[in-house]
Structure 1
Amino acid sequence: MTPAARLSAAIELIETIDAQRIPAAKALKEWGTAHRYAGSGDRAAISGLIWDVLRRRASSAWIMEEDTPRARTLGMLKLERGMNVDDIAALCDGGRFAPEPLSERERAALTTRSLIDAPAHIAGDYPEWLDPYLAQAFGDDRAAEAAAMASRAPLDLRVNSLKAKREKVLSSLKHLGAQPTPWSPLGLRIELGADARNPGIHAEEDFIKGAIEVQDEGSQLAALLSAAKPGEQVIDLCAGAGGKTLAIAAMMQGKGRLIATDHDKRQLAPIHERLSRAGVHNADVRTPKGEGDTLSDIRASADLVLIDAPCTGTGTWRRNPDAKWRMRPGALEVRLKDQIEVLDRAAPLIKPGGRIAYITCSVLPPENAGQVRAFIGRHPEFAVVPPAQVATALWDKAEEFTAATLQSPEGLLMTPRRTGTDGFFVSVLRRQA
């Protein structure tokens, strides 16, 4: 397919997404099934266009003064791809499989319009109803912070220290352009271009042998800040597929007791195979059965409970731009209730001097600092450990890293703009002895 044909296909797909109100991933899958002639490069390029339009949905419509699939696509080419009006016009020449030529109005908009006077939710590309929450988090910087959250994310990997060293894996993945991550001592990063296909990490020998896992650097750092130690009793209360469970296991060096569980047993399905591949032998996966408590045998004995809390996922918008436009206010209320429940469940599991590591992949204050303050109000036996104090002893870049984050009395917040990671909030709460 020509670049112009790919552009036409993207516009048609966005029309389908709008008309049928379906997730972009589903629309792309159905399109690929119906268009077998399209090669993998074509599908990757069209996917890239779709995701970029979703990233810049509001700002592109603002630029073009029209909220249609074509307008949003043309505006995206200017804002996200940096194309000038002549380059865009060359793609839209009306030829075979190409979009219709630019109108005079479209030419004028692409030439003269900018985001200088745009409201924050337009310049930052997020739903207007979230503006008060982002203002609470970032103040006048919210448009810039949100715009960074709309950028394209790299592919981050974590080296499994139970099986490999970063220097060796870095060498073996050189052909993929892997580089060390800026902060994590175990991270590798592969930058991806606009039309790039995701590399086949799962086919790499390092992955097959358990030496690497796909994990955003922010998630790696969140696990690191829990300060799990060899010999401790650690509970991953919201283990899901096991991303942070694996990171914690490596930190424990196979020593101590690691219990992984989740209220949704379906989420736990992949964890067994992942633990086996990673060479983890001290993990006990507890799958919920009926109404019974999977942790009924544990009372005030855990050194650490990790809570990778259910949340709105606003910090992961770079990887799932479709999600922010599908999010509704009711989703926040549901997540806040879920977080209260899991925090209160963790409290009696902690022994005196033990700690809770509360983590969200959200930037919204009610899910982060607000939850921590409310928890301490209900459980005054807990107190926040200052973020800088948590980080300082963990790795050589800790001081520089914490300075880059947004800190509060309740914890620290990573963001794409500040740390180049997904958005993660981390709070460590210690139970008084």
Structure 2
Amino acid sequence: MENQLLAVKALVLVETRGMPIPEAVERTCRDRPIDVRRSVQAFVYETIKRRNLLDELVAAGSDAHPEDVRSPYVRQILRVGTLEMKIWRNPPPAVTDCMVRIAKRLVGSKAGAFVNAVLRGVERVSVKDVLEDRPWTERLALKYGHPEWFVLYVLDLFEGDRSRVELLLRANNRVPPQYLRINRLKLDPLVAGDVLEREYGIVTEPTFLEEVRALVRGRGYGSRAWREGLFDVQDLASASASAALSAEPGETVLDVCAAPGSKTTHTAERMLDEGEVWAVDRSEWGLRVLERRCRRLGITCVRTICRDARGLTVDDLPDVPDRILVDPPCSTTGVWNRNPDSRWKPKPLERFAERQWEILEPALRIAEEHGCTLVYSTCSVSWEENEAIVKRALEEFDVKLVDAGVLGSPGIEEFRGERFSGYKKVRRYWPFRHDTAGFFVAKMKGKG
């Protein structure tokens, strides 16, 4: 019962406070053994991933829909109980008894009676009952735990290729490897695999980026080697953006929306900590995180600038940059494999795209006037935030699109009647193809 109780508490923190899943699990499982933490984490991730199917099962077995239940604790108790009973196929009487006791403990006896009645109704319903006779997109959305609008969206993105749609949805339910970005200031990437295994018990394997290795066995984040600054944890696709920037030692780089600093520190490492990286972000807290990251990695060439990137000009900077990296806030539709709670938040793609344009436009103006190289990236899979943004940049500014220069898939050529001729020069990363986050990278050059 303890694991389920802790899972319900963590789920309520995620729902009511918007707390990230790892933080919610950490807070509820403080001082608990590692096996308890892992169990609670599994409950939380699976409950959030399958929220829509769990809610439909509850509604089919009773007159209650979890979204209509006033108490967040009761809502999550019903979901966790349904997960155990219908997805994990644990014995219904034992599951119901456990959930009733949790409801009485957290809410009261009336809540316990309500949970008992609802879960006994759920016991009589099957997943097959809920899925059959529904349209294909709705059925797939429930089967793989995604909002239906997203299934319809990627069906258009993949030009009606249902097999690719299903591959993406399935991959979004599989957590990709943890990638270790070797800090070349402290460890030669060419010998990093041997050193990490021999001296730290961390087994890794190479990727298409020399300095990024996939964790196979051992602890990455928080390990002794991590604390010593031998590596940072960064998704392979994300590292491809700073690799595409190709910053050289001695250059100056403007990093827009830099916090919490994965690409900032990667860029500084590739520059061998020689030159300057100006990390611009409006979040003081985020920049403090970035500065701590730099200290751990032994980086000294990063200078933080706390301000909104919209309206940024060269006058706001120490000098004219050689290169610019813009990775603005996005819909995060590419990282649902790591952050499943983001699936159920509103995703007004056009609004995200307009905000991204407001951030990118000043950087484009600097690149246009001074001949800078500019890399634009997002962790979104949407056309509006990626190809459409780059297309607009090429139409409104005197910049040219150049090949991103990193491995990956080409972009999307056409979406809902709109075409993008430069799709072969940009890069997309797909969870089902590259075992990474969904990601987009484009590289442009100002004509000066």
TM-score by structure 2 length? 0.74
What is the CA–CA distance in structure 2 between the aligned matches of 1:289 and 1:216, rounded to whole Å? 26
What is the CA–CA distance in structure 1 between the aligned matches of 2:93 and 2:187, rounded to whole Å? 49
Partner of 1:240, secondary structure, is coil
The aligned residue for residue 196 of structure 2 is 170
1:28/1:426 Cα in 2 relative to 1: closer, same or farther (>3 Å)? closer
**2:3 aligned with 1:6:** yes
What is the CA–CA distance in structure 2 between the aligned matches of 1:290 and 1:108, rounded to whole Å? 52
What is the CA–CA distance in structure 1 between the aligned matches of 2:25 and 2:297, rounded to whole Å? 34
Decide whether the 8 Å contact of 2:206 with 2:212 is kept in 1.
yes
**2:377 aligned with 1:377:** no
Larger CA deviation: 248-257 vs 286-295: 286-295
**2:241 aligned with 1:222:** yes
The aligned residue for residue 109 of structure 2 is none
Match of 2:145 among 116, 125, 136: 125
**2:95 aligned with 1:92:** yes
Match of 2:441 among 404, 420, 426: 426
Deviation at 1:63, TM superposition (A): 6.6
Partner of 1:305, secondary structure, is strand
The aligned residue for residue 195 of structure 1 is none
What is the CA–CA distance in structure 2 between the aligned matches of 1:29 and 1:151, rounded to whole Å? 20
Match of 2:322 among 303, 313, 331: 303
What is the CA–CA distance in structure 2 between the aligned matches of 1:264 and 1:252, rounded to whole Å? 25
Pairs aligned (count): 401
1:149/1:251 Cα in 2 relative to 1: closer, same or farther (>3 Å)? same
Mapping of residues 5-404 of structure 1, within 5 Å: 5-7=2-4, 10=7, 16=12, 21-23=16-18, 25=20, 29=24, 39-61=33-55, 65=60, 68=66, 69=76, 72-73=79-80, 76=83, 83=88, 85=89, 87=90, 92=95, 94=97, 106=123, 109=126, 117=136, 119=138, 120-139=140-159, 140=162, 141-165=164-188, 166-172=192-198, 175-176=201-202, 178-190=203-215, 199=219, 201-202=221-222, 204-288=223-307, 295-296=314-315, 301-329=320-348, 332-350=349-367, 353-379=371-397, 381-387=398-404, 390-391=405-406, 398=407, 402-403=408-409
What is the CA–CA distance in structure 1 between the aligned matches of 2:23 and 2:278, rounded to whole Å? 38
1:296/1:173 Cα in 2 relative to 1: closer, same or farther (>3 Å)? farther
Decide whether the 8 Å contact of 1:181 with 1:217 is kept in 2.
no
Deviation at 1:54, TM superposition (A): 0.8
**1:220-248 deviation line (CA, Å, top 9, x unaligned):** 12221222222332111121121101101
Structure 1 residue ranges (4+ consecutive) displaced by more than 6 angstroms after TM superposition: 95-102, 111-116, 289-292
Q: Which letter does structure 2 place at the counterpart of 1:342? A: I
Deviation at 1:301, TM superposition (A): 4.0
**1:9-38 deviation line (CA, Å, top 9, x unaligned):** 545765x579x74436589849955x8785
Deviation at 1:357, TM superposition (A): 0.3
Partner of 2:288, secondary structure, is coil
TM-score by structure 1 length? 0.77
Long gaps (5+) in structure 1: 193-197, 392-397
What is the CA–CA distance in structure 2 between the aligned matches of 1:382 and 1:122, rounded to whole Å? 44
Deviation at 1:288, TM superposition (A): 3.2
Decide whether the 8 Å contact of 2:137 with 2:148 is kept in 1.
no
Decide whether the 8 Å contact of 2:261 with 2:290 is kept in 1.
yes
1:242/1:377 Cα in 2 relative to 1: closer, same or farther (>3 Å)? same
Larger CA deviation: 145-154 vs 353-362: 145-154
Partner of 1:337, secondary structure, is helix
What is the CA–CA distance in structure 1 between the aligned matches of 2:361 and 2:27, rounded to whole Å? 46
Long gaps (5+) in structure 2: 67-75, 103-114, 414-421
The aligned residue for residue 112 of structure 2 is none
* Identity value in percent: 23
Deviation at 1:259, TM superposition (A): 1.8
Decide whether the 8 Å contact of 1:24 with 1:322 is kept in 2.
no
1:91/1:384 Cα in 2 relative to 1: closer, same or farther (>3 Å)? farther
Q: Which letter does structure 1 place at the counterpart of 2:445? A: R
Q: Which letter does structure 1 place at the counterpart of 2:221? A: I
RCO higher in 1 or 2 (8 Å CA, sep ≥ 6)?
1
Deviation at 1:159, TM superposition (A): 1.0
Q: Which letter does structure 2 place at the counterpart of 1:326? A: K
Decide whether the 8 Å contact of 2:313 with 2:362 is kept in 1.
no
Decide whether the 8 Å contact of 2:281 with 2:309 is kept in 1.
no
Deviation at 1:345, TM superposition (A): 1.0
Partner of 2:323, secondary structure, is strand
Q: Which letter does structure 2 place at the counterpart of 1:92? A: V
Decide whether the 8 Å contact of 1:145 with 1:416 is kept in 2.
yes
